[in-house]
Every structure is written in C-alpha cells, then in structure tokens.
Structure 1
C-alpha cells in the first residue's frame, strides 16, 4: 500500500525513483479505507534526508500511511530552509488537539547537553505527555529515546569518551515481541551517538523490555508497554552512505567501525541492515493497524503495547 505525503515534498521524487508507491493527495481523498495517521517530529539538522529515510520505510509497509511533519513550535531550524519548513511542517501547537495512530520523534544533535539545557526541553516534555492521550503508538529514536526514558522513568544518560560510531552486531533478546517478529538472532545496526543509556540504569518493576543489545555498543531497542512507546537508541533508518557522510562532515576523524570494507574509506560500504530496518518499521505499523480503534476519537484512551 502507498504512503501519502505532500505532492511537492522533495522526498517524493526520491521515493518514486526507488519504486516506493507514493499516493497523490487527490487520489487519497477518494479512498474509502482510513489511512493510518503517522506524525514525525523531526529534530535532525538535515531534515530532508531524515524525511526521506523514514518515509521510505513507512511507505514500504502494506498499509496506507498519511504522514504529517511536525516541528517544535518556537524553535527555528538553522540547517533547513525557512521555505521548506513553512511549506511542509506544522508546529506542534497547531496539531496538539489532533490524534494520531503513530508518532515518531527523531534524534537531535544535543546529546552532550543535560536534558534541561536543551532549549526546547519543556515543549518536548509536554509532547511526550501529550502522546499518552493523543497517540496510539510512539517510536523514539537515538537522543529522543534517551529523553523519553528520562522523562517517563528518570533514566539518566551517560556521556561517552569516544563516540559510538559504526555498524555493530546486535542480539535479539525477545524474539516473541511483536516488534522483533521475523528478526534474526543477531543483526547489524548503524550507531552514531556520544551518549548512552546503560543496562544497569533500566529500572526494574516498570515493565521495560530490553529487546536488542550489542556487546560493543550497548542497548539498542527497549519496549515500554505502559507508555505505548518503542525506544531505539540507534539508526536502522540510516541510508547506506549516512555514516560516510558523517565521517566526511567531521573531517575524516573517527573511522566508523565495521562499516567500510577493510576499514578503507575509499571503498564503498555495503548495507547490512536494510532488511531489518524494513522489518522493524513493518512490525511497528502492523502492530498499530492490528490494535488501533477505527474511530480516531478513541485513540490514546487506552495506551499500552502488546507484550
């Protein structure tokens, strides 16, 4: 099934060229079936790349998805044009009275700051609380996952002396989870962060489920049934060359581990995670579809994920 996004969004051309089925807005209106309403709070600097990465995964699932792009209300993006933000993004204050089947919050380049020193921390906390009454299922990525666990459960993040950077093998700890359905016993995930949440920091008795973890880079996926959240500390959504672009951006400093063949940046990296990226997002969308009420007005009234 297709994904419905704005006709002029730059991601549309990329996705159509890749064969992802993208529905025109006029065609979507004529559909009798209710599409899933998914909102993306995009905190990443390169918003267009992030939009494309996540729309690609959402658009590959077998259900019609209507994607709404959301921004922090009072924060001005320094890396994306004002025209793009005005054309395609809605401030959260404008959507806070609406309900969504799914809500995604990306990472942000603020992980070295204490949470309360992030300029939009108060609004993000309000958004996290709002997901409990206006969203059926939520997904947090990288710094947003750390922020959500801190907000809901008081979990602290820890700074790293050396960036966790590369493609690392992860263990599937809970194959029976609906989020891990079909996953291999171990699988590769891109990692790029300067902080971490440690296993020993996860509180007991709150129902938090450690789904996937790496011997080298630590925790990756945590299920939070009581809060209807899936937390991912890493980046299954990354394109093949995203880590290479970050390596070049940082002046060819720290080499991403297990990424370039023979650790040679002159060689093109291979994508070892694409299939599991599609699997995770397909599982997330399927779980939403299987459990969400048809009436959007009932969304958020009974939060909680399947075990």
Structure 2
C-alpha cells in the first residue's frame, strides 16, 4: 500500500526514484476504494491444496479481495470431491458476462502434451481471449504461462530432456518495474516443469519484457508491455513440502525422477526440505495485486474501456 505524504513534499521524488510507492494527500482524498474481484481458474489436480496456496498469498495484503473459483469443465476430479467442486466452483458460462480486476490461471500437469492435444485446449483459448477484454490484469503460472505465451504471442516452448524441479537462483534484469519493488538483487524461486521458452525469443518480442531470469531455469517473470499479462514460469505459491510430494509421487509411479535441485538439506531426499522462497513469492503476488490490479482497475468494473484497448499488444 502507498505511503500518504503532504503535497509537494521534497522527499516524494527521492522515494519514487527508489521505487517506494507514495501518494499525495490530494490524490488520496479523491480515491474510491472497493474490494478487488479476483477470479482463479484452478487447473491443478488437487484443487483444495492449490486454493489454499493461492489464497494464502492473496491474503497477505491489506486489500480486501473477493475471490471466485472457476473450473475448466464439470467432469469429476480424481483428487477433489464432486461436492466440493459443485459447492465452490463456477462454470465459465456463469461468469462470461462479468468483469474482474484480476485473474489467476494455475499450472497444470500437462507439460509433456502438445497444446493442441489437451482435451480442453479450445476452452483454455476461449478463456484467455475473454480475459483480454474482461480482466484488468492476468497472472499466468507455469503451464498456463507457456500456454498463454503460445496462444497470445505465438511463442512455443521446448521440451526439456528431464523435468526441471527444484529451487533456483534468479536475478532482476530491470529494477524499475513496480512489480519488483522490495525484491533483492538475487532471489530464489521454485520450478517444476518439463518445458522452457527460449529467453532470447522472449526478449526479442516487442510486446514482452523479461523482468527476472535464472542461468539454470531461464526466464521467470515476463510482463507484457501493456502490463495486462504477467507470466510466471515457476510456482511462487508452492509450500515447503510441495516439491517433495511431487518427487515422491513420481517415484511411486516409477518415473525415476531427478532429486529436486537446491531443495533438500544437503541435497539429501531423506532430509527435510528447506523453504527459501516464501518471502519473494508473497511479495510477487502482493505487488501484482497492488500495482497491476488495484492501481489500474476502474472503480466501476462495467467500464473496462477505461483501461482498454489491450488487443494491440498481442499477435
């Protein structure tokens, strides 16, 4: 949240140059405040676990956030009861005519499947297109980031020889974005995926900006130049045991997975994992919600034209 200061205070220019968000008394007095409306499209198998992870991050902000949960289809889930889905999730048709301040689309266990072979690919494309007209800012995570970069900007991923799993060191490539306020020069973030989009291709695209990257894991945070779409290639929402649970699951299925890198103490899977990314994961979502949703969204959500058009930014 901003620091409210007197009009024309000399410190304002200094603080703004340091990426500290300040607001004059005049602007603060004329602000209209209401709850943020955020939609979550949950594509992960264990819906409840992912809900909890994302809500934990959204709750770490002084903003009031009203959340709707969206499902991609009404088929029975193997890992979540049909009662839970029917009670708490909406179908797309129920929200198609609504506008939202923010949308989060999660990852999905589809890393080795061609996009066009995904059973609900047409539906995913429809929701992505809808989001460009009905949502102020969209946060795409992991698989969803790759899917959206492919659909919106024509950038395809490349499959890796083995799953990239672990916690990797990243650096900021540009310090002057509100999304990176409070970030250290280097920070850790978890990844769990089978594919990667070439960093050079991302940097060469005129509608995209690579904000953070890793020598080992590639691009991590990519922002569209119109600030509407944020692509995060990893999992800032993951909790301490999530990578371990995935690793044990893959072992049980006979997949012979590599040990997640830089994750277990002494890189020994018999020892406890070490969580070293929660602070920056929380900061990422808080900054997105504040600077790219709250600060940009119209007070009246029926007036999306106040922040449009966005379509010129995509292919």
TM-score band, normalised by shorter chain: 0.7 to 0.9
CA–CA distance in 2 between the matches of 1:92 and 1:73? 8
More displaced, 78-87 or 147-156?
Answer: 78-87
Check if 1:259 corresponds to 2:282: no
CA–CA distance in 1 between the matches of 2:203 and 2:287? 26
More displaced, 125-134 or 68-77?
Answer: 68-77
| Alignment match, 2:282 | 278
SS in 1 for 2:237: coil
| Alignment match, 2:237 | 237
SS in 2 for 1:179: helix
SS in 2 for 1:251: helix
Tell me: CA distance 1:74–1:81, structure 2 relative to 1, closer, same or farther (3 Å). closer
**Residue deviations 1:198-256, cap 9 Å, x none?**
11332635220001111011111100133710000101110011011111111173200
TM-score (norm 1): 0.85
C-alpha displacement of 1:195: 0.8
Unaligned regions of 5+ residues in structure 1, if any?
Answer: 2-31
The CA RMSD measured in Å over matched residues stands at 1.9
| Alignment match, 2:14 | none
C-alpha displacement of 1:182: 1.1
Check if 1:202 corresponds to 2:202: yes
SS in 2 for 1:296: coil
SS in 1 for 2:90: strand
C-alpha displacement of 1:272: 0.6
Unaligned regions of 5+ residues in structure 2, if any?
Answer: 2-31
Tell me: CA distance 1:215–1:172, structure 2 relative to 1, closer, same or farther (3 Å). same
| Alignment match, 1:45 | 45
**Residue deviations 1:35-60, cap 9 Å, x none?**
10000000001111100000000011
CA–CA distance in 1 between the matches of 2:302 and 2:49? 32
Check if 1:292 corresponds to 2:297: yes
C-alpha displacement of 1:300: 5.8
Count of aligned pairs between the two proteins: 275
Does the 8 A contact of 1:132 with 1:227 survive in 2?
no
Does the 8 A contact of 1:105 with 1:139 survive in 2?
yes
C-alpha displacement of 1:73: 3.4
C-alpha displacement of 1:185: 0.7
Does the 8 A contact of 1:131 with 1:300 survive in 2?
no
SS in 1 for 2:178: coil
SS in 2 for 1:247: helix
C-alpha displacement of 1:125: 0.6
CA–CA distance in 1 between the matches of 2:203 and 2:181? 25
**Residue deviations 1:59-105, cap 9 Å, x none?**
11110000100011355433211111001000112111111000000
**Displaced runs of 4 or more, over 3 A:** 73-76
Larger Rg: 2
TM-score (norm 2): 0.83
C-alpha displacement of 1:133: 1.0
Tell me: CA distance 1:203–1:274, structure 2 relative to 1, closer, same or farther (3 Å). closer
Does the 8 A contact of 1:136 with 1:300 survive in 2?
no
